[in-house]
Amino acid sequence: MAFEIDAKDLHYRELNKLLRQAIGKGEKHLVLKNVNGQRYVAAGVSAEVDIDIYGVPGLDLGAFMRGPRIRVHGNTQDGAGNTMDDGKIIIEGMAGDVVGYAMRGGKIFVASDVGYRVGIHMKAYMDKVPVIVIGGKAGDFLGEYMAGGVIILLGMFSRYPERPIAGIFLGTGMHGGVIYIRGGVPESQLGAALQIEETDEEDQNILRKHLQEYCADLGYNLDEVMAEKFVKIRPQTHRPYGKLYAY
């Protein structure tokens, strides 16, 4: 039985208090109705729970969280998954800017488009490998300063037919991790010191693993998604600016 909270006219502090109280009492499935702009929903929550959100959650959804599986039945605003550590955020609509900012674990699946600076400063350590999958298109600075983790950009389910699959300055300052792009991307969109490579069998396995889960979560057809070739973008070196200030 899901535990329901009506978020209408609730300030974010009250909403998060109710959410944390319910989790503290052992509720495993929470449904938040009429959410509109409340910030920091489930921020810092460390628990294995399912949270369904109806409406548009505010900035920094699931920031610092470790464990919850959040499904947003709509769009999200900026900063979803800010520095999240573990768990999953599924967004059935589009997402704003800086999704997965400094993310260090867990997954963010976006059905449609994302804004600017998505995956900025993502990082990975040993078995902690954060993953962002984007069904639509991305704005400028995707994967900026990326240090680890995986970003997969499909460009298939976008509301912007006139835009390129990814904006300019893609991967600027990137020094770790990998960005996979379905169908490729013009080199002019890339930041400096990156290389575009063909995907090999290992890449295909990684892609299939994540996309299988992504398609199952969002009701997309895996064969259709995998029907096109992917390219891989990686930094040429893990210290692209190592000599910038050296004489």
Partner 1 sequence: MEILIPNKEQSGCGLSGVINRKGELIKGEVIIESICCQMERGNGLGAGYAAYGIYPEFADYYCLHVMADNKQALKEVEEILAHKCYLVHQERIPTRATPGISSPPRFRRYFVKPRYEGEIREICEGTADEDDYMVDLVMLINKNVAGAYVISSGRNMGAFKGVGFPDQIANFFRLEEYSAYIWTAHNRFPTNTPGWWGGAHPFTILDWSIVHNGEISSYGTNRRYLEMFGYHCTLLTDTEVVAYLLDLLIRRHGLPIELACMALAPPFWQEIDRMEEPEKSVCTAIRAVYGAAMLNGPFAILFAYNGGLVGLNDRVKLRPLVAAKKGDFYYMASEEAAIRAICPDPEEVWCPKAGEPVIVELEPDTIPNQRSYLRGEGVQVSAPICRFPTAVEEDEEED
x/- binding map, residues 70-109, to partner 1, per CB under 8 A? ----xx-xx-------------xxx-xx------------
Alpha carbon distance 119, 107 (integer Å): 11
Q: Which two tokens stand for residue 65?
A: 């969280």
Q: How far apart are CA 171 and CA 192, in angstroms?
A: 8
Return the structure tokens found at 145: 């300063």
Shortest Cβ distance from residue 67 to partner 1 (Å)?
25
Among 25, 26, 127, 188, binds partner 1 (CB under 8 A): 188
* 168-194 residues labelled b (16+ CB within 10 A) or e (exposed): ebbbbbbbebbbbbbeebeeebbbebb
Report the nearest approach of partner 1 to the CB of residue 75 (Å): 6
Q: Which of 140, 132, 55, 160 is nearest to 97 (CA)?
A: 140
Does position 64 interact with partner 1 (CB under 8 A)? The reply is no
| Binder among 27, 58, 138, 179 for partner 1 (CB under 8 A) | 58
Q: From residue 106 to residue 135, what is the string marking binding to partner 1 with x (rule CB under 8 A)? A: -----xxx-xx-------------------
Length of the chain: 247
Binding mask 212-231 for partner 1 (x = CB under 8 A): --------------------
Q: Which amino acid is at 191?
A: G
Tokens found for residue 204: 């295909």
Residue number, 49 or 108, with CB nearest to partner 1: 108
Smallest separation, CB 77 to partner 1 (Å): 5
Q: 95-103: list long-range contacts, CB under 8 Å, 24+ apart.
A: 97/139, 99/132, 100/130, 100/132, 103/130, 103/132, 103/149
Query: For the window 6-35, what string marks contact with partner 1 as x by the rule CB under 8 A?
Result: ------x-----------------------
Q: Which residues bind partner 1 (CB under 8 A)?
A: 12, 36-37, 39, 55-56, 58-59, 74-75, 77-78, 92-94, 96-97, 111-113, 115-116, 136, 139-141, 157-163, 167-169, 188
